[in-house]
Amino acid sequence: MKIAVIGAGYVGLVSAACFAELGHEVVNVDNDRAKIAMLEQGQVPIHEELLPELLQKHRGRGLRFSADVRQAFSWCEVAFICVGTPPSPNGEADLSYVEGVARELALALKGHTVIVEKSTVPVGTCEAVRRTMLLHGADPRDFSIASNPEFLREGTAVSDFLYPERILLGVSDEESRKKLSAIYMPLLDGSYYERDDAIPGPTRPARLLVTSVRSAELIKHASNAFLALKISFINAVSTVCEGVGADVRQVAEGMGADSRIGPRFLTPGIGYGGSCFPKDVLAFRSVARSVGYDFQLLTEVMAINESQKERFLAKVREALWTLRGKKLAVLGLAFKGGTDDVRDSPAIEVVRRLLQEGAHVVAYDPAAMEKAKALFADGEIAFASDAYEACTGADAVLVLTEWQSFLELDLLRIRGLLKLPILLDGKNVFSTGVVEKAGLLYCGIGCEGSAFPLHAPFSQVSEDRSEMAEAGAQVAGEFTSALQALSQ
Ligand code: UDX
């Protein structure tokens, strides 16, 4: 199949590479000529596992890049719209890029083309694309409109595309259904997984769901809103856990054992971020309001998410008393582990608030530092080359992104580098026991072992917690003398 993918961002570039991997002829179009030039030279503008390998394998063969959208439209049989739909100030999705593509499409159509909305859009957008095309003179016999929402998570988008739990086609005619089913057939009949050059993954034929166009558009928003709801729910439960002395990790495990709940997306932290959940929850609430329903549940999901950052800052203040002048090591700036994306990152927001309170921040992130630098003025925060450099001489270390690589850190070495042995875990990456065995005070979200209030004499606290390792008791002495130094 000849496929044009409009937009070379997180969704478009991954989709173009994966369509080529499935054996189709693909042109990936973007109006950012610099980005197209980078891609043609073999550079990869986003941090995605397996994407460099796929681009290397298909660039110049089944996959080419272009800035000429009209040429692409006149050549292709199916055109996927994968342009951005950022939030407008009032929370509604800004569809101006989508409208721009619809206009170009109307002017460039040759022969029947299936036009597929893949970006996350409010229900009714496909209808709007159709109207725009007709307004600009397209012949309704020359095109069909369909919805094929993506369910790609950043960092694992290639494997999410090639090993989807479902392939969702929102169609209004047989032509669209046939062509889109044919595009995904290697995943639907499992033949892709038989290939010896297939990307490895949890082999299972994908499930095909065919719905109306509007239902498909809505499924995407409702899915993301529900996932965000699940995260805000466990964040609220973590607050109750702290109040009653329960451990949210045990509670989440107990809840997740019920197949109707499931174990995933039950990790509390400083809140969800990224370029999807925040905007999709806002957009979905706007869609509801546009049809007269005030989706208050989503308002509360956002309120809980916002409050998590303040709750975490309160823990930092409780552990360190005043923040002014304190040096804080921050591990993690991306909105989640496995990505370099800092868009709507809770970690960035927490750092901004620490700076407002006069703290000095030294940050390290395995992939997101370059993108984070653009968000701060020169010298506003320091960047370290690794976690150990960040912790050197710091009054505490704060973990703000769930990078799995942080679990390999030598915590004893970290303790030796810190001025005060305090680790505040904003994403529950570590277990309390492991951190305490290295002689560090642990403060997580929704669990025992929160940083001891500064006024509690550390020696009394260490007697209360007899399970603290010998190293912890030794730290008690160091900590007490550090406290005395602080109080002078
Ligand atoms: C999400 C959806 O998962 C994906 O299906 C959709 O296509 C795009 O949006 P993404 O935003 O890339 O993907 O990341 P995801 O892995 O869903 O995490 C979103 C946020 O939730 C991150 O900030 C993450 O740290 C947070 N999160 C996730 C939690 O706080 N707790 C959890 O248990 C899981």
Contact (CB, 8 A) for 185 and 191: yes
CA dihedral (106, 109, 114, 120) in degrees, to 10, reads: -40
Q: Does 194 share its domain with 118?
A: yes
Nearest CA, atom 19, ligand 1: 272
Q: What per-residue confidence (pLDDT) applies to 396?
A: 97
Q: Does 137 share its domain with 243?
A: no
**313 in a domain, yes or no?**
yes
The verdict on whether 391 is a catalytic residue reads no
Q: What per-residue confidence (pLDDT) applies to 466?
A: 47
Ligand 1 neighbour 231 (Cβ under 6 A): yes
**487 in a domain, yes or no?**
no
Final residue of a structural domain among 304, 323, 352: 304
Q: What per-residue confidence (pLDDT) applies to 34?
A: 95
CATH number at residue 206: 3.40.50.720
Q: What per-residue confidence (pLDDT) applies to 478?
A: 62
Read off the tokens for 316: 């930092």
CATH number at residue 237: 1.10.1040.10
Q: Does 313 share its domain with 254?
A: no
Contact (CB, 8 A) for 362 and 328: yes
Contact (CB, 8 A) for 227 and 277: yes
Q: What per-residue confidence (pLDDT) applies to 252?
A: 98
**56 in a domain, yes or no?**
yes
Can you tell me the distance from the alpha carbon of 445 to that of 269, in angstroms, rounded to the nearest whole number? Answer: 6
Q: Does 354 share its domain with 322?
A: yes
Q: Does 196 share its domain with 82?
A: yes
Q: What per-residue confidence (pLDDT) applies to 90?
A: 85
Final residue of a structural domain among 187, 211, 235: 211
Q: Locate the ligand 1 atom nearest the alpha carbon of residue 402 and give its number.
A: 25
Global model pTM greater than 0.75 = yes
**484 in a domain, yes or no?**
no
**pLDDT for 207-219, tens place per residue?**
999 999 999 999 9
Low-confidence residues of the chain, pLDDT below 50?
Answer: 450-451, 453-469
Q: Does 149 share its domain with 163?
A: yes
**453 in a domain, yes or no?**
yes
**404 in a domain, yes or no?**
yes
**pLDDT for 254-308, tens place per residue?**
999 999 999 999 999 999 999 999 999 999 999 999 999 999 999 999 999 999 9
**119 in a domain, yes or no?**
yes
Ligand 1 neighbour 274 (Cβ under 6 A): yes
Enclosing domain of residue 272: 220-304
Strands 360-364 and 2-6: unpaired
Q: What per-residue confidence (pLDDT) applies to 461?
A: 45
Helix axes 213-244, 277-290, angle to 10 degrees: 120
Q: Does 130 share its domain with 202?
A: yes
Final residue of a structural domain among 176, 211, 246: 211
Q: Does 272 share its domain with 313?
A: no
Q: Does 360 share its domain with 456?
A: yes
Q: What is the per-residue DSSP string for 294-348?
A: --HHHHHHHHHHHHHHHHHHHHHHHHHS--TT-EEEEE--SSSTT----TT-HHH
Q: How far is the CA of 281 from the centre of ligand 1 (A)?
A: 12
Can you tell me the distance from the alpha carbon of 272 to that of 249, in angstroms, rounded to the nearest whole number? Answer: 17
Can you tell me the distance from the alpha carbon of 56 to that of 69, in angstroms, rounded to the nearest whole number? Answer: 23
Q: What per-residue confidence (pLDDT) applies to 85?
A: 83
Ligand 1 neighbour 152 (Cβ under 6 A): yes
**186 in a domain, yes or no?**
yes
Q: Does 23 share its domain with 117?
A: yes
The per-residue pLDDT of the chain, averaged, comes to 91
Ligand 1 neighbour 267 (Cβ under 6 A): yes
Nearest CA, atom 26, ligand 1: 272
* Pocket-testing residue among 231, 406, 425, ligand 1, by greatest number of atoms within 8 A of Cβ: 231
The DSSP letter of residue 408 is: G
Instruction: Kindly list the strands in the beta sheet with 422-425, ordered across the sheet, starting from the edge strand earlier in the chain.
Output: 382-383, 360-364, 327-331, 396-399, 422-425, 441-443
Q: Does 19 share its domain with 151?
A: yes
Q: Tell me which residue has tokens 């090591």.
A: 329
Ligand 1 neighbour 66 (Cβ under 6 A): no
Closest C-alpha to 83, from 47, 43, 35 = 35
Read off the tokens for 332: 């993690």
What domain count does the chain have? 3
Q: Does 42 share its domain with 101?
A: yes
